[in-house]
Amino acid sequence: MDEQNRKKVILASPAFRIASLAILTALTAVFTFMVRIPIARTGGYLNLGDVIIYFTAFTFGPVSALVAGGLGTAITDLISGYSQWAPISLLAHGLQGLVAGLIASIAWRGKSSTFNPFWVIAAIAGTIVMAGGYLIAQILMLGAGAALFELPWNLLQNLIGLAGAIPLTIAVRKAYPPVTKLRW
């Protein structure tokens, strides 16, 4: 088997995909955990996990973003003392990644290492899903006042996530063009 065919076999293997998802999940957890800016009134925090969720959605597609976004943020909640939020994070961030990945896939251009305007539309939809999911959960768990207080912070977190994901996506595609073939 020649080198090019060997690389295609490796990239298509389930083991490679599982390892890639594990790395993306770990990156999401690390970005969520390492930078946490507390929101005193609600006990929540701003983080950079959305950078990796959107990067995963734009680069690897909706299923990868669903898994990495949901599991990465839920794991962070479990290890950082927010275990009551882990199921909400699993759903809200997982669906955020899925929705953003689906919309980004509509206009996906495999060889592009330039900005794709559909990424903004995808992030807006992902933001609505994530912030809406947390809003509903926070109304039930903390009351409407606290939930509405935290809503702008969730919107800001997603805006920061998009602002970080766009240059990261472009840089990775430019530095490693074969990444555009890794959509699952």
pLDDT per residue, tens digit, the chain (184 aa), is: 666 666 665 666 888 889 999 999 999 999 999 999 998 878 889 999 999 999 999 999 999 999 999 999 999 999 999 999 999 999 999 999 999 999 998 876 555 668 888 999 999 999 999 999 999 999 999 999 999 999 999 999 999 999 999 999 999 999 988 887 787 7
**Dihedral sign for Cα atoms in the order 130, 132, 136, 138:** positive
pLDDT for position 11: 65
Comparing C-alpha atoms, which of 147, 152, 157, 134 is closest to residue 42?
Answer: 147
Amino acid at 20: S
Query: Do 169 and 119 form a contact (C-beta atoms < 8 A)?
Result: yes
| Rounded-to-integer distance, Cα 75 and Cα 33, Å | 9
Q: What is the pTM of this model?
A: 0.92
pLDDT for position 4: 66
Label each residue of the chain as H, E or C: CCHHHHHHHHHHCHHHHHHHHHHHHHHHHHHHHHCCEEECCCCEEECCHHHHHHHHHHHHCHHHHHHHHHHHHHHHHHHCCCHHHHHHHHHHHHHHHHHHHHHHHHCCCCCCCCCCCHHHHHHHHHHHHHHHHHHHHHHHHHCHHHHHHHHHHHHHHHHHHHHHHHHHHHHHHHHCHHHHHCCC
pLDDT for position 42: 81
